[in-house]
């Protein structure tokens, strides 16, 4: 999740601008939430396809 479209309940400003302490705290928490949060959807799909390919190769070698 990104903070681009979130609106702060404290100051009614965009969280991405960090106008108040509450905005800055939530923005920081969102950025620390997940290491994969910063990846683009294309990168996530590539990672998923790579994992599937590795699983198929591992399954193929397990049956030999």
**What confidence tens digit (pLDDT) does each residue in 21-54 have?**
998 888 888 777 666 666 788 988 999 999 999 9
Higher pLDDT residue, 33 or 18? Answer: 18
Query: How far is it, in rounded angstroms, from Cα 12 to Cα 41?
Result: 29
Torsion-angle region of 18 (φ positive above 0: left; ψ -120 to 50: alpha; else: beta): left
Query: How far is it, in rounded angstroms, from Cα 51 to Cα 40?
Result: 17
Per-residue pLDDT at 31: 74
Q: What is the pTM of this model?
A: 0.46
Per-residue pLDDT at 37: 66
Higher pLDDT residue, 38 or 10? Answer: 10
């Amino acid at each position: 999740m990104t903070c681009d479209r979130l609106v702060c309940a404290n100051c009614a400003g965009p969280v991405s601008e960090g106008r108040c302490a509450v905005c800055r705290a939530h923005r920081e928490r969102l950025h620390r939430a997940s290491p994969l949060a910063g990846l683009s959807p294309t990168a996530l799909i590539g990672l998923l396809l790579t994992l599937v390919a590795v699983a198929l190769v591992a399954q193929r070698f397990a049956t030999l």
